[in-house]
């Protein structure tokens, strides 16, 4: 499956049930230092000290995807901060 296929699937899932996909995307779980230091599966931190690193669905999808084909990005409306679609960055 190409990164574009993953984006297409995510956009189709979002179109059919945007609330569910948004809720799944917002769900994040804590990770340990080994996960944070590993080169795959993008994690995020709440501050510069990275006191509480987490990972979500998009980080896992990007670990599965080929980096050469671009990063899968969730796009949000700048006014409402609502999820609007997915694309390759």
**Residue 12: how many CA atoms within 13 Å on its side-chain side?**
6
Interior/surface letters 13-24, b for 16+ CB within 10 angstroms, e for the rest: ebeeeeeebeee
pLDDT of residue 11: 98
Q: Containing domain of residue 20, as a range?
A: 3-88
* Angle (nearest 5°) at CA 65 between 18 and 15: 15
Strand bridging mode 72-76 / 54-56: unpaired
Read off the DSSP letter of residue 41.
Answer: S
The number of folded domains in the chain is: 1
pLDDT under 50: residue ranges of the chain: none
pLDDT of residue 51: 85
């Amino acid at each position: 499956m190409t990164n574009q296929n993953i984006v297409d699937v995510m956009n189709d899932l979002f179109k059919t049930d945007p609330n569910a996909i948004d809720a799944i995307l917002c769900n994040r779980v804590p990770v340990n230092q080994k996960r944070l230091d590993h080169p795959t599966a993008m994690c995020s931190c709440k501050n510069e000290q990275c006191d509480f690193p987490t990972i979500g669905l998009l980080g896992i999808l990007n670990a599965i995807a080929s980096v050469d084909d671009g990063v899968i990005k969730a796009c949000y409306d700048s006014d409402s901060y609502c999820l609007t679609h997915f694309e390759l960055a």
